[in-house]
Chains A and B, each alone.
Chain A
Amino acid sequence: MDALNVYAAKMAPQQESLANGHRACQGCAELLAVRLVAKTLGQDFIIANATGCLEIVTSSYPHSAWKVPWIHVAFENAAAVASGVEAGIKILKKKGKYPVDREIKIIAQAGDGGTVDIGLQALSGALERGHDFMYLCYDNEAYMNTGIQRSSSTPYGASTTTSPSGSESIGQVTMKKNVVEIAVAHDIPYVATASPSYPFDLMEKVRKGAEAKGPAYIHVLAPCPTGWRLAPNLALSIGRLAVQTKVFPLYEVVNGQYRMTVSYKNHRPVADYLKPQGRFRHLKEADIAFIQQHVDSSYDRLLKKIEMSEG
């Protein structure tokens, strides 16, 4: 029945737990994604936020954009702090020291740096311990807050300030780390990829993740006009192109079962996704062909997992 769950914009919750007036860059897709997450979750949730863009643009004292309880401690430990909040509330409820009638969802959120690099250990620990929480990685594919340095989530060929393209280098020389599969390997109830360019798909996944008993992990591709060297008005269309070119397929893994949630019959060439972005400006036809090959084989591997789940 999930597939029949059709949204209309006017049916989306009206409430906004993330206030207007934060300090994100123009065209920031991350903040749009966060707003959609907050809309879906309503008011009964608590956020543990990693250091990063999202933290600094929403919490410059004395101004806070958060209408829900929110805590930031450090860069690499959002999952650990969320573990603590979850465990703390659980025991206080047991002891009758916290409202027992409320279902309060614990959310950890971080960028790709705080998730796939420095925060990976804390994330793995929290997923393995089975805390009832949802972790959201807003992946803009580099350390944007400190000025566009490469992370292990930066895609092959992208030029960043610490993986610059030059006569001896294509830019980022490694393939994007697949943290979604690392999350799946923890055997948790819910894992998904999502994109603010597909708002209803994203909201549906957030709802499912929140309803899952135990850890949920959602990896959101958050186009960053500043870091991707992209016109701000193109952030959402580039997000759609990421899906249409198979670069970032939208799927979910429910109790180990894979399912594509957004599919296209015909996919566009990966060049359509790469060309509008300044960070890929230096790529030659041969480089693009190589990336196309990699994207195709990754996608085929995913399809096999989906087939196995269906079989």
Chain B
Amino acid sequence: MAKRIGIEVSLAISEAVKLANVDAIAAYPITPQTHIVEHLSELVADGELQAEFIPVESEHSAMSVCAGTSAAGARTYTATSSQGLALMNEILFIIPAMRLPVVMTIANRSLSGPISIWNDHSDLMSVRDTGWIAIFAENGQEAFDLTLQSFKIAEDHRVMLPISVNIDGFTLSHVIEPHEFLDQAEVDSFLPPYEPLVQLNPDKPVSMGMVGIPEIYFEAKKAQDMVLIESKAVIKEVFKEFGEKFGRYYHVIESYRTDDAETLLMTMGSISETAMEAIDIMKDEQGRKVGLIRLRLWRPFPHEELRELLRGVKTLAVVDRAVSFGSPGGPVATEVRSALYNSENAPYVASFIAGLGGRDVTIEHFTTMVDMAERMAEQREVHEYKMIGVRE
């Protein structure tokens, strides 16, 4: 039976990885991801998890080892943050291209320079186009549940793609929260053992990672894009099955009090909890027609679901946690504007960048953003983006 446990979110993720009966973990220490892999190495050392823990000499090798373990047919996990993710970058592109279903937690952290260990989403945004499925968790329970679901999604033979589960560094990774754990029997009833499509085995030799001559490269990339887009259906299917089994339902975009809302806030990650409080205040105390949507699935981007959710909405205030230098908006807002550009009655999209490098995003910031967005929408102000909470 499910039990309610107060535990640090990083450790809850490690417990989920253990329950997934992972075969191989390759990792390199980097703050704020370290607690996850420290706990996993303890579980292996204590014999609670039968797995190979490979303490590599760099993140580049961590992801390279993951390529090897996954190609050998082992269920593979790793975790990283920030500079570590940046160092993996080269190999991140190759993992989905080779259809290796590696699961990785990214404890999101800002990128140097100046060096900062604190939270924002610039690390993930820098690997946007690597071809990984990217999912966001808002709290510990979601991180636990999504870790388990990620193995099932990644290893589905219709998908066979790697997944990153994103959790905000420190603000989520290092907090102690109540979690409803699943027991081994429950997890086993949901997550079958990994059955590789192909593996490195002399009984049936395969060549993996061959040269893509011009006659084949383009087709290979089209096939890869198609499978990533089509993975959305499987993701929804897995979310549904998980919900029906365990009573916790997940969606590619989550909605909070959006009924009759004319203005929506849009967030990703743990600041959504503060945003919800802001929405409650604006709705209950000020009677305003506002609501919140939060993006669960960053890749593949849920365009259709977004357009559906925004029907009747007049103003959308998108909160980004990263800068896309020199671009016409925060990375999420730019994506949203692009998704809506040709649709009829698209809402006015205001782009805000907040909370870089661990800067707090407060309830007041959210109400300010809603105020500004509504005013800008009324005046149809043409703007790129505005930074909130920065000293000028």
Contacts and interface: CB of A to CB of B under 8 A. Distances in A.
Nearest to B69: A88
B223 interface: no
A66 B205 contact: yes
B112 interface: no
A122 B24 contact: no
A190 to B, nearest CB: 21
Nearest to A89: B72
A61 B212 contact: yes
Contacts of A62: 210, 216
Q: How large is the interface on A (under 10, 10 to 19, 20 to 34, 35 or more residues)?
A: 35 or more
Interface residues of B, number: 44
A122 B64 contact: yes
Interface string A57-82: 00111101011111111101100111
B200 A74 contact: no
Given A46-B202, A98-B201, A99-B203, A88 B211 contact: no
B24 A88 contact: yes
Contacts, number: 166
B353 to A, nearest CB: 34
Given A69-B200, A69-B202, A84 B72 contact: yes
B71 interface: yes
B210 to A, nearest CB: 4
Interface string B48-67: 00111011111011001111
Contacts of B26: 84, 87
B16 interface: no
A43 B211 CA distance: 23
A56 interface: yes
A74 B70 CA distance: 15
Contacts of A76: 60
User: Which of B70, B203, B210 has most A Cβ within 10 Å?
Assistant: B210
A59 to B, nearest CB: 4
A125 B56 contact: yes
B72 A80 contact: no
Contacts of A99: 201, 203
Given A71-B209, A87-B54, A91-B24, A80 B202 contact: no
Contacts of A45: 202
B54 A44 contact: no
B9 interface: no
Interface in B28-79: 50-52, 54-58, 60-61, 64-74, 76
A72 B54 contact: no
Given A67-B205, A90-B52, A122-B61, A61 B213 contact: yes
Interface string A83-102: 11111111110110111001
Contacts of A87: 24, 26, 52, 54, 65, 68-69, 72, 74
B73 A92 contact: yes
A73 B209 contact: yes
A270 B193 CA distance: 61
A87 B58 CA distance: 17
Contacts of B65: 80-81, 83-84, 87
Nearest to A94: B50
B69 A121 contact: no
B208 interface: yes
B369 interface: no
Interface string A249-268: 00000000000000000000
B230 interface: no
13 contacts: A73-B64, A74-B90, A77-B91, A83-B64, A85-B72, A86-B68, A88-B76, A91-B50, A91-B51, A92-B23, A98-B201, A122-B64, A128-B57
Interface of A: 43-46, 48, 55-56, 59-62, 64, 66-74, 76-77, 80-92, 94-95, 97-99, 102, 104, 121-122, 124-125, 128-129
Given A61-B211, A88-B76, 9 more contacts: A59-B209, A64-B207, A69-B202, A69-B207, A83-B54, A84-B72, A91-B74, A92-B74, A125-B56
The 4 closest A-B pairs by CB, nearest first: A84-B68, A88-B72, A125-B57, A80-B64
